[in-house]
Amino acid sequence: RNLKRQTMCRGDINRLNAAFLAIYDSLIPADEEKAKQKQLLTVLEKLVSKEWPEARLYLYGSCANSFDFSKSDIDVCLVMEAGNSDKSEVLLKLADILQADNLQNVQALTRARVPIVKLMDPVTGISGDICMNNVLAVVNTKLLRDYAHIDVRLRQLAFIVKHWAKSRGVNETYHGTLSSYAYVLMCINFLQQRRPAILPCLQGMDITYSVTIDNVECAYFDQVEKLRDFGSRNRESIAQLVWAFFHYWAYCHDYANDVISVRTGCTLSKRAKDWTRRIGNDRHLICIEDPFELSHDLGRVVDKGPLDLLSVPTATCIHGHAADFIKRLQQVHSTTH
């Protein structure tokens, strides 16, 4: 609808490039901050190995997938055989150990959907959460990081999208909007579908990395240093991509029928996944297939938003907000002329 009116010419969009790159640069964490995160991880590893010599700690989430903003919290995963003790017991014990070592704000949230221990390190000022045996998250973190190494435009686009989502309050799964993980998958899938493609489909290539976790096979091509030139035939700037991303989610995505799938590099049908109707709280209004847990729709939490700017029956919060973003870009564009 009104596609013509919604279209800005290439030259106009490029005027926004410097602004987007400035936002991206301002959000990247400094090297000292990454060093402090490592320092904290080393402290935690020492404490953990005293009690459980076989245990391992892994960073996951944005602090390890290269999509973290400066001053982000860290996500840590404790991997170990729990033997006879259950997760809650181990996490409560871990909380005691951390508290005894003067870590601050230590709290074991053993009843949460993903049980964690929260902490703040007074030496580095960094806060973090430690979960247990969430190995799939460690592996999907590696997948996102590997994609980020192929073309810098993924990291730039995902930073702008995450920044927009956090500023707009649409990055809160407990309020019916999408996780950062889901937004990054949307960016990857979008870049896989540009023509020429900017990102490949790593799970459709020769397998160089393979692990099986909780009966889920995670396998893909991870020698991404060989793919550095992959996107070079596509010369689109970050401004063009940001525009096209929001334009896609505002006007082109088929919310009624399509599922975003990084695993296949394209879209699948909701019907084939049986994600066509509401089941319990899972509404499946916007469908994003997890790359490894294929029955997992990361958009299932999305509620019908209050902002239904286009009055499209299947409009979701994201849909309305994306359309609003496009309008705002046009306003910026018209005031710069």
Judged by beta carbon distances under 5 to 8 A according to partner kind, the member of ligand ATP, Mg ion, none in contact with residue 95 is none
CA 213 remoteness from chain centre: 20
Whether the CB-CB separation of 143 and 293 falls below 8 Å is answered with: no
Three-state secondary structure call for residue 227: helix
Q: State how far the alpha carbon of 87 is from the alpha carbons of 130, 255, 277, in Å.
A: 12, 38, 34
- Using the contact rule CB under 5 A, the part of the chain among 31-39, 70-78, 210-218, 318-326 near Mg ion is 70-78
Work out whether 189 is an interface residue with ligand ATP (CB under 6 A).
no
Question: Cβ 180 to ligand ATP, closest distance in Å?
Answer: 3
- Using the contact rule CB under 6 A, the part of the chain among 14-22, 60-68, 119-127, 211-219 near ligand ATP is 60-68
Question: Cβ 296 to ligand ATP, closest distance in Å?
Answer: 6
Pairing of strands 258-261, 266-269: antiparallel
CA 153 remoteness from chain centre: 15
**CA angle (113 as vertex; 315, 75 as ends), nearest 5:** 90
Residue 292 CB neighbour total at 10 angstroms: 21
Question: Cβ 112 to ligand ATP, closest distance in Å?
Answer: 13
> Distance (Å, rounded) from C-alpha 286 to C-alpha 302?
7
Q: Which of 137, 241, 259, 262 binds ligand ATP (CB under 6 A)?
A: 137
Residues 6+ apart with CB under 8 A from 3: 251
Tokens 């892994």 correspond to 58
Give which of 119, 40, 122, 116 is closest to 78, Cα–Cα: 116
Whether the CB-CB separation of 323 and 309 falls below 8 Å is answered with: yes
Binding mask 278-297 for ligand ATP (x = CB under 6 A): ------------x-----x-
- Using the contact rule CB under 6 A, the part of the chain among 61-69, 77-85, 213-221, 307-315 near ligand ATP is 61-69
Q: Which of 37, 65, 66, 156 binds ligand ATP (CB under 6 A)?
A: 65
Q: Which of 58, 61, 119, 250 binds ligand ATP (CB under 6 A)?
A: 61
Judged by beta carbon distances under 5 to 8 A according to partner kind, the member of Mg ion, ligand ATP, none in contact with residue 124 is none
Q: Which of 20, 24, 37, 72 binds ligand ATP (CB under 6 A)?
A: 72
H helices of the chain, where?
3-6, 10-14, 17-27, 31-51, 62-65, 87-100, 135-150, 152-168, 180-192, 238-247, 270-273, 317-335
Question: Cβ 333 to ligand ATP, closest distance in Å?
Answer: 29
Strand partners, 119: 128
- Using the contact rule CB under 6 A, the part of the chain among 32-40, 136-144, 186-194, 195-203 near ligand ATP is 136-144
| Residue 59 host element (H or E) | strand 56-60
Whether the CB-CB separation of 244 and 8 falls below 8 Å is answered with: no
Size of site (CB under 6 A) for ligand ATP: 17
CA 281 remoteness from chain centre: 22
Binding mask 20-59 for Mg ion (x = CB under 5 A): ----------------------------------------
Q: Which of 13, 41, 61, 178 binds Mg ion (CB under 5 A)?
A: 61
- Using the contact rule CB under 5 A, the part of the chain among 74-82, 186-194, 223-231, 265-273 near Mg ion is 74-82
Judged by beta carbon distances under 5 to 8 A according to partner kind, the member of ligand ATP, Mg ion, none in contact with residue 179 is ligand ATP
Q: What residues make contact with ligand ATP under the rule CB under 6 A?
A: 60-62, 65, 67-68, 72, 75, 137, 140-141, 179-181, 290, 296, 298
